[in-house]
């Protein structure tokens, strides 16, 4: 396993609470996923016209790589967000392929 490289990876009992930036980044991770849900619905309801399949495949590959990294680092923030993105990316890819 890889060594710890920061507070996000190896927390000890005496660690301070998350900073304002960390809280903001966690909130933005959720907000950006929620903002993608209408895109998923649109692709499934109206087809994938105008939606680039290769862009979403690239997003899926990237999210998968980040998931592996987050699991290796034991960083729940990274891998939990990546699981959400993998689901959203896969839903859009499936919607594009089904509606071709």
CATH topology of domain 20-98: Monooxygenase (1.20.1280)
pTM recorded for the entire structure:
0.79
In whole angstroms, what is the distance from residue 76 CA to residue 67 CA?
A: 10
Q: What is the pLDDT of residues 8-18, one digit of tens each?
A: 556 666 677 88
pLDDT of residue 45: 93
> Are the CB atoms for 17 and 25 separated by under 8 Å?
no
Domain ranges of the chain: 20-98
Q: What is the pLDDT of residues 35-88, one digit of tens each?
A: 999 999 999 999 888 899 999 999 999 999 999 999 999 988 899 999 999 999
Q: What is the largest CA-CA distance in the chain?
A: 54
DSSP single-letter state for residue 74: T
């Amino acid at each position: 396993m890889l060594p710890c490289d920061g507070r996000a990876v190896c927390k000890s009992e005496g660690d301070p609470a998350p900073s304002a930036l960390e809280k903001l980044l966690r909130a933005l991770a959720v907000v950006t996923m929620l903002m993608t849900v209408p895109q998923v619905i649109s692709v499934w309801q109206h087809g994938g016209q105008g939606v680039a399949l290769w862009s979403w495949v690239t997003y899926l590959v990237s999210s998968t790589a980040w998931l592996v990294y987050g699991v290796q680092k034991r960083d729940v923030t990274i891998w939990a967000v990546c699981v959400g993105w993998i689901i959203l990316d896969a839903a859009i890819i499936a919607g594009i392929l089904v509606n071709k």
